[in-house]
């Protein structure tokens, strides 16, 4: 038997739960979600072309780059380095997937990261 969600969610409990999560963990979680969504929109998921949408991928990659740029001093290099590597991989994948690739420095998120070369 499945449980149905309550009519009124317990916002106080949800607030307490999020209050216990360190800011770095929230930032990293959001970054990983952006990376995952961008990968899907680049057609890198199992279903590939079905969800490919380069316009949406551009927005997600730019958002990820902005988040990482803004939070660089707040999160340690332990957390930031793999996220930056993932971002660069997404930027390169975007360039590869584009019919007419952006010039270096003009791709998604490159106003925050600088030009990305393969």
For the stretch 9-28, pLDDT in tens is: 787 877 778 889 999 999 99
The pTM is what? Answer: 0.85
Distance CA 94, CA 109 (A): 11
Cβ neighbours of residue 74 closer than 8 Å, sequence gap 6 or more: 23, 24, 27
**Predicted local confidence at residue 5, as pLDDT:** 60
For the stretch 71-106, pLDDT in tens is: 999 999 999 999 999 999 999 999 999 999 899 999
Distance CA 5, CA 69 (A): 38
Q: Is the pLDDT of residue 2 over 60?
A: no
Domain residue ranges of the chain, discontinuous segments joined by +? 14-96+105-110
Contacts 24+ apart (CB under 8 A), 42-47: 42/90, 42/93, 42/94, 42/97, 43/97, 44/93
Calculate the CA dihedral of residues 98, 85, 41, 106 and round it to 10 degrees. Answer: -40
Counting every residue written for the chain, the total comes to 118
């Amino acid at each position: 038997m499945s449980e149905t969600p309550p009519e009124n969610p317990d916002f106080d409990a949800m607030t307490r739960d999020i209050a216990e999560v360190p800011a770095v963990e929230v930032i990293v979680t959001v970054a990983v979600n952006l990376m995952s969504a961008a990968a899907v929109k680049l057609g890198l998921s199992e279903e590939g072309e079905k969800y490919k949408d380069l316009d949406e991928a551009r927005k997600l990659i730019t958002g990820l780059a902005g988040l990482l740029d803004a939070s660089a001093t707040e999160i340690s290099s332990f957390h930031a380095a793999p996220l930056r590597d993932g971002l660069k991989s997404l930027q390169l994948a975007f360039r590869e997937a584009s019919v007419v690739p952006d010039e270096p420095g003009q791709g998604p998120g490159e106003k925050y990261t600088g030009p990305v070369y393969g």
